[in-house]
Amino acid sequence: MYEYTWYQWLMFFFLYCFFGWIFESSYVSLKTRRFVNRGFLRLPMLPLYGTGAVMMLWVSLPVKDNLFMVYISGVAAATLLEYVTGWGMERLFKMKYWDYSSQKFNLKGYICLSSSIAWGFLTILLTEVIHRPIERYVLGLPVIINIIVVSVTSILFAADAAQSVKAALDLAKVLDAMTNMRAELDEIQVQMALLKAETSQRILEAREDAAQRLDMMKSDAVSHAAALKEDTAERLSTMVETTVEKVGVLVEGTAQRVGTLVEGTADKVARTAERLSEFTEDAASRVTSTLSQRSAPHEDGHEPADHSQAARERRDRLAVLTQRLAALSEKRRSLSNPMGYYRKSLLKGNPSASSSRFAEALRELREIAEKKK
């Protein structure tokens, strides 16, 4: 391909992957004040830099004598590479591993004008300054050494890339599952809140209805007792008058017996009235106790067991939602807790990675990764 063999191109690719890792890791480590193994791979390599450098060299070789065309070719090639790579990684891994959304004149956060301009100048710097000594070094290596180094590095690179891709795909599935479960958890909590509110309202209404019925029954009991007393008094008065009339007709010899009979009758009537009053008060007390027991909630805060079918259905539904809530919470914890080396490295090595859809799940996983150092 142009002036270089296949293994020389691979050597350039790996070298620029390594130099890119040094640049990115140093910059991010200084910015965060702690060492960050920057990048998608766990090897000290950033494939985007290696691919970008090889592409810049490849497209600029035909016009290497014209700096303006070198600049234009570098801008076009690097910008296209950055956009396609960013778009593809987000579609595949559900995350943006870099985001230019805060920059002016950006396109969906994958590329921006300032970055594209910088790529053009970097292409000139690469072709005119950086690449010349590296080229001399690579071309000066014996062929066998070059092939051995490239072969070993390719095997390690391929194995690391396979593990990193697998970890990134698993991470994408976890983010998706955690986000869906979070939405379901929120929905369950809303349903539980509505059921509890409805149950409380029904209990309040039942208490008010029971209190009204109790007041009515008390009023009826009092009215009946008063009427019964009046009727008893009237009968007693009539009986006394009748007795007096009979006493007047009877002979004086029976007056004492009649008097005794009247007094005994009066005592019986009084006792009857007194028993009737006690019976009425006792009946009212029992009605009050029964209604209070029926209207009051159980100690656990739920409605009594003899309430309507709707109340039982609400309690059953609340129990089912509670069990589902506990199961989802446990499953969500089981998804987030297994923090393997590659997943933890992906999260910690890409602190600027973002996801609008899975932002909450990503933040939660990052917190777990930071705790498990």
pLDDT tens profile 119-135: 999 999 998 999 999 99
Considering the domain architecture, whether residues 323 and 345 belong to the same structural domain is answered as no
Classify the C-alpha dihedral 241-245-246-252 as positive or negative.
positive
**Residue 191 carries which side chain, given as an amino acid letter?**
Q
The SS3 assignment for 214 reads helix
Angstrom distance (rounded) from CA 237 to CA 266: 10
Asked, for residue 260, whether it belongs to a domain, the answer is yes
Instruction: Report pLDDT for 270.
Output: 54
**Rounded-to-integer distance, Cα 9 and Cα 1, Å:** 8
Q: Tokens standing for 49? A: 């830099």
Residue at 25 is within a domain:
yes
Q: Are residues 104 and 206 in the same domain?
A: no
**Window from 30-44, 95-109, 136-150, 272-286 with minimum mean pLDDT:** 272-286
Residues in the chain: 373
Residues 132 and 214 in one domain: no
Residue 29 lies in a domain: yes
Site of tokens 């259905």: 313
- Closest listed residue to residue 50, CA positions, set 150, 147, 176, 193: 150
Quick check: 284 pLDDT over 70? no
Residues 126 and 219 in one domain: no
Quote the number of domains for the chain.
Answer: 2
| Domain boundaries, position 276 | 187-336
3-state secondary structure (DSSP) of residue 30: helix
Sequence-distant (6+) residues with CB within 8 A of 97 are 40, 86, 89, 350, 352, 353
Same domain, 231 and 254: yes
Distances (CA, A) of 14 to 10, 47, 54, 135, 299: 6, 8, 10, 13, 72
Q: What is the pLDDT of residue 257?
A: 58
Rounded distance, CA 180 to CA 175, Å?
Answer: 9
Which comes out higher in pLDDT, residue 266 or 124?
A: 124
What was the pLDDT predicted at 298? 47
Rounded to the nearest integer, the mean pLDDT of the chain is 78
Same domain, yes or no: 193 and 259: yes
- Please state, in angstroms and rounded to a whole number, the distance separating the CA atoms of residues 217 and 283: 10
When mean pLDDT is compared across 166-180, 181-195, 204-218, 243-257, the lowest value belongs to 243-257
pTM (2 decimals)? Answer: 0.63
- Helices 143-249, 341-349: crossing angle, 10 deg rounding: 90
Tell whether 213 and 329 lie within a shared domain: yes
pLDDT of residue 337: 67
48 and 125 assigned to the same domain: yes
Mean pLDDT of 259-283: 54
Task: State pLDDT tens for residues 159-171.
Answer: 999 999 998 888 8
Lowest mean pLDDT among 134-148, 149-163, 240-254: 240-254
Are residues 196 and 331 located together in one domain of the fold? yes
In a domain, 155, yes or no: no
Q: Can you tell me the mean pLDDT for 5-18?
A: 94
Residues with Cβ within 8 Å of 312's Cβ and at least 6 positions away in sequence, in order, are none
pLDDT higher than threshold 60 for residue 245: yes
Q: How confident is the model at residue 79 (pLDDT cuts 50, 70, 90)?
A: very high
Residues 196, 325, single domain; the answer is: yes
Q: Let me know if residue 269 belongs to a domain.
A: yes
CA 237 – CA 243 distance, rounded (Å): 10
Q: Over range 179-186, report the average pLDDT.
A: 82
Is residue 177 assigned to a domain? Answer: no
CA angle (94, 95, 101) in 5-degree steps? 130
Instruction: Write the CB contacts of 258 (distance below 8 Å, at least 6 apart in sequence).
Output: 243, 246, 247, 250
Report the DSSP beta bridge partners of residue 113.
none
Q: What percent of the chain has pLDDT over 70?
A: 73
State whether 354 and 307 are in the same domain.
no
Q: What is the pLDDT of residue 258?
A: 45
Q: What is the DSSP string of 1-16?
A: -TTS-HHHHHHHHHHH
The mean pLDDT value for 284-302 works out to 50
Residue 193 within a domain: yes
* Through-space distance between the first and last CA atoms of the chain, rounded to whole angstroms: 45
- What mean pLDDT do residues 32-60 have? 88
Q: In this predicted structure, what is the pLDDT of residue 295?
A: 47
Same domain for 18 and 120:
yes
In degrees and rounded to multiples of 5, residue 256 shows phi and psi of -65, -40
Residue 108 has pLDDT above 80, yes or no: yes
Answer whether residue 284 is part of any domain: yes
Indicate whether 150 pLDDT > 60: yes
Q: Categorize the per-residue pLDDT at 152 as very low, low, confident or very high, splitting at 50, 70 and 90.
A: very high
